[in-house]
Amino acid sequence: MSAETLEIKANSNGLKAGHCLTLADFSPQEIESILTLAKRLKKSQEEGTPERLLEGKTLAMIFDKPSTRTRVSFEAGMVQLGGAALVLHRNELQLGRGESLADTARILSGYVDGVLIRTGAHAIVEELAAHASIPVINGLTDGHHPSQALSDLFTLQEKKGKLKGLKLAYVGDGNNMLHSLLQGAAATGMHIVASVPEGYEPAADVVAEARQLAQETGAKVELTHSPKEAVTEADAVYTDVWASMGQEEEKAKREKDFTAFQVDQALMALAKPDAIFMHCLPAYRGLEVSAEVLDGPQSIVFEQAANRLHAQKALMVTLMG
């Protein structure tokens, strides 16, 4: 075992919570360690020498919501690390017949080494973690999407060579994705400017927490209602769907409210000439982003998606190694 692996394992033993419910569960140093390990694991995988750091370990994955990138990247990641993943759906568990989350957490803790859950209310993952004696990973809730944001940080670092001092412009809904990006940017010393329509601002407590951390890391956290203000001189421009899962009934209203928040070529032209475009996917061309931008030379969305494999492998090793 390398000295770097030993350092990662030592860091994981000192995690603030032992879980990944939000990026606030990690210190800036722990996030840096995860990104460093992700880089190493990606390199070894590409060289054909994958590191089987979770040999004999099992991850249970509970899905209450559909998934492509989260399911495949975590499951493939566990296989590459030498472990196994069990894909579970609520209606396949006794949860579907009324067994409590607390009891489910205790039962799973006796069988597997970690639990990933992709669900709705953030309180669900908090309750699961409160009663589990193994790491719990938030694969997406209505409040946060930390595994995606870790991958985004890894991708930005890979493309730009650093994170500290970069300007990240977010244009769109003040949703779970923005919450995790605010936490991640604050932890890594970035300048994040989020542009959202009036009435769609991110949660005030998440913004306050990010701004408090930013004072320690040298980051800057700003909110605006102007996409142009956010994107001007940005190193990266990020957007997400206007209507997330569970908001289908609001789709028509949201499309009207977000009309001025499409990332098109004219908006991208305000960013730095070497700016990159990011999206957590799935994307809807002609709504939150124009086809010209999504499929254009500045877009790195598919590299960003592929990097979820490596960032999440590093996350699992940190928590379960």
Write out the catalytic residue numbers: 118, 145, 148, 240, 280, 308
Residue 196 burial (CB < 10 Å; 0-12/13-18/19+)?
Answer: buried
Contact 303, 155 (CB under 8 A): yes
- Residue 67 annotated as part of some ligand binding site: yes
- Residue 71 annotated as part of some ligand binding site: no
- Residue 245 annotated as part of some ligand binding site: yes
Run of H or E residues at 265 = helix 265-268
- Residue 40 annotated as part of some ligand binding site: no
What's the gap between Cα 266 and its chain centre? 28
Run of H or E residues at 239 = strand 236-239
- Residue 197 annotated as part of some ligand binding site: no
User: Is the peptide bond prior to 282 cis by the omega test (within 30 degrees of 0)?
Assistant: yes
- Residue 298 annotated as part of some ligand binding site: no
- Residue 297 annotated as part of some ligand binding site: no
d(CA 305, CA 122): 23
Q: What is the DSSP string of 16-41?
A: SSSSBSSGGGS-HHHHHHHHHHHHHH
- Residue 176 annotated as part of some ligand binding site: yes
- Residue 191 annotated as part of some ligand binding site: no
First to last CA, the chain: 12
What's the gap between Cα 233 and its chain centre? 24
- Residue 70 annotated as part of some ligand binding site: yes
Cα radius of gyration (the chain): 19
- Residue 308 annotated as part of some ligand binding site: yes
| Residues of each annotated binding site for L-ornithine | 176, 240, 244-245
| Residues of each annotated binding site | 67-70, 94, 118, 145-148, 176, 240, 244-245, 280-281, 308
| Residues of each annotated binding site for carbamoyl phosphate | 67-70, 94, 118, 145-148, 280-281, 308
